[in-house]
């Protein structure tokens, strides 16, 4: 597991990615994104928030505009998402786009929104990367980011998968 910016990162990301539970008391108490979402991290400025989401700058930006949208609820990763989370993912995307507009970005075709898939995550809390412009995204991020296209997996009813593609949300049928 690669540590970034001296933030605590689990040594057991692979094990945690298979957890059935969204959270446990110890994880929520020590999760940096839970601390940020609950305004207990004085180093992070929240740019925009709703009752269940927050958006802030990525601590290690891979583009001139690189923000993270996280739910206040502790969800470990995109692998724990299901049909019931479609609205959450849509609201995360909307909040990210709203922040880009607030920052003067008007071309919504020149952005990338996406999740990293375990074990390639630095923080075990669902977070949507919001990046612009696409031409200035670092190659490392471009390679490792999976753009969200929500589609039904026939082998796992009710689950969603994050696939590499242009950004769009196709609702599960």
Cβ atoms of residues 111 and 132 within 8 Å: yes
- The token pair at 25 is 């008391």
Q: Which domains does the chain have, with CATH numbers?
A: 13-162 (3.30.428.10)
Task: State the Cα–Cα distance between residues 84 and 158, nearest whole angstrom.
Answer: 8
Q: Which residues are catalytic?
A: 127
Residues 121, 6, 73, 157: what is their CA dihedral angle, to the nearest 10 degrees? 10
**Owner of token pair 């990367």:** 129
CA distance from start to end of the chain: 36
Q: Which of 11-20, 32-41, 80-89 has the lowest mean pLDDT?
A: 11-20
- Residue 35 structure tokens: 């601390």
Rounded CA gap, 168 and 150, in Å?
8
Over residues 129-157, the pLDDT tens digits come to 999 998 898 876 765 555 443 333 333 34
Between strands 150-152 and 160-162, the pairing is antiparallel
Q: pTM for this one?
A: 0.73
> Over the stretch 86-108, which tens digit does the pLDDT of each residue have?
889 889 999 999 999 999 999 98
């Amino acid at each position: 597991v690669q540590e970034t910016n001296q933030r605590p990162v689990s040594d057991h990301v692979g094990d945690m990615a298979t957890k059935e539970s969204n959270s446990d008391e110890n994880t929520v108490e020590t999760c940096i994104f839970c601390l940020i979402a609950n305004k207990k991290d004085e180093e992070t400025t929240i740019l925009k928030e709703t009752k269940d989401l927050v958006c802030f700058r990525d601590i290690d930006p891979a583009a001139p505009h690189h923000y993270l949208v996280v739910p206040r609820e502790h969800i470990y990763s995109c692998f724990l998402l299901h049909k019931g989370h479609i609205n959450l993912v849509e609201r995360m995307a909307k909040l990210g786009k709203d922040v880009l507009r607030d920052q003067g970005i008007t071309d919504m075709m020149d952005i990338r929104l996406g999740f990293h898939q375990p074990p390639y995550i630095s923080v075990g809390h669902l977070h949507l990367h919001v990046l612009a412009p696409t031409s200035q995204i670092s190659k490392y991020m471009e390679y490792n980011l999976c753009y969200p296209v929500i589609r039904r997996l026939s082998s796992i009813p009710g689950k969603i998968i994050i696939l590499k593609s242009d950004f769009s949300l196709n609702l599960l049928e």
